[in-house]
Amino acid sequence: MNKNNFNECGVVQDLLPLYYDNACTPASRKMVEQHLMICEKCRKTYEELKNTTIDTVMESESAGILERHARKERNMAYKAGIVIAFLLLVPIVITFIISVNNGGGLGVFAVLTASMMLAASLVVVPLVSRQKRMIKSILTSVISLLFIFFFVDQMNGGGQFILWSIPTIFGLSIVFFPLVIRNIALPPVLSDKKALIMMTWDTLWLFLTIFEVCNHSGDVEGMRAGYTVSLILMTGVWFVFLIARYLPVNVWIKAGMISIIGCIWTVFTNDVYVYFMEHKKQLTILATDFSDWSNTTCYNANVFTLTLIFGGIIGGLLLMYGIINMKRKR
Ligand SMILES: [Zn+2]
């Protein structure tokens, strides 16, 4: 490569952007083309320039199109939300006029308003809001539902509102609380305790539901049975939860512990329940007799024993595998 050639490369490389944009004089153009035919280095530079330019242009254009599209979509959703909201208002206004003209109470009007609120929470809220649509929609729906309960209850003489609300909130919580808590920002102290908060919340609502349902019907015996069953149930659930979430061991050890606890729980729950409810000490498993599957007591005892044996073996194997794995890692 002589000095002249080196200079030409510099000039050509300066010209390449102009050449690419079709913006240089015919003479320069010709010079660039001739040079590219003989100089591989400049040809490479030109190829690179072409590629990066195309990529950037494509990228920025598609991003622009997507952004415009998204904005258009958002605007349309917003307008649709407003229109639907107005449509929902029509029956409310009509009912209001009718109730006032007939001199009747506003009960039907209130129920209808609350129903429209529910519809709006499910349709308008997701269309109109920009962020956290799901959470807003869920919360406004639940509030609207409670309004409906309240007004319907008022129309029917009152007194049932809490009875209806507590089990409803409990049922909805089981389905929606995980979604809601996953998507909200909590203070740093609480942000890694979302599962714990959810478990506590569900447990409280379970006990509240049992209390309210039994208290309302004055069923003391039912309440005792309900609390006994749910205490046994929730103890098992909490055990499994705490092991799965907080025990600092590997997944095999957790699985082993959970299957062993699961077996023990299955086998002895009924005995514990009988002890608390009827003050009878019994151990179903003692009636195990593998030659007799005809009477219920033996049958249950046989199944429980098999559960304990096989569950114990599986759990034990998982535990062993987990412990070996943990030692190997250290
Ligand atoms: Zn060159």
How many A from CA of 1 to the centre of ligand 1? 10
Tens digit of each residue's pLDDT (9 = 90 or more) over 136-158: 888 888 898 888 888 888 877 87
Smallest CA-to-CA distance from 326 within 252, 256, 230, 244 is with: 252
- Say what the pLDDT of residue 292 is: 85
Q: How close is the Cα of 70 to the center of ligand 1, in Å?
A: 45
Alpha-carbon distance of 275 to 287, in angstroms, equals 17
Residue 45 has pLDDT above 80, yes or no: yes
The model carries a pTM of 0.61
Using pLDDT thresholds of 50, 70 and 90, give the confidence band for residue 71: confident
Inter-residue contact 125 to 136 (CB < 8 Å): yes
Ligand 1 centroid to 78 CA: how many Å?
Answer: 57
Q: How far is the CA of 12 from the centre of ligand 1 (A)?
A: 7
Q: Which of 194, 129, 98 is nearest to 137 (CA)?
A: 129
CA of 58 to the centre of ligand 1 (A): 28
Q: Could you tell me the distance, in angstroms and rounded to a whole number, from the CA of residue 24 to the centre of ligand 1?
A: 17
Q: How far is the CA of 27 from the centre of ligand 1 (A)?
A: 17
Q: What is the CA radius of gyration of the chain?
A: 36
Å from CA of 25 to ligand 1 middle: 19
Ion ligand 1: residues, Cβ under 5 Å:
9, 39, 42
Q: For residues 55 and 160, which has the higher predicted lDDT (pLDDT)? A: 160
CA of residue 324 to ligand 1 center, whole Å: 65
What was the pLDDT predicted at 2? 47
* DSSP alpha helix (H) spans, the chain: 3-20, 26-38, 40-101, 107-128, 133-155, 161-183, 188-191, 194-217, 220-246, 251-278, 296-329
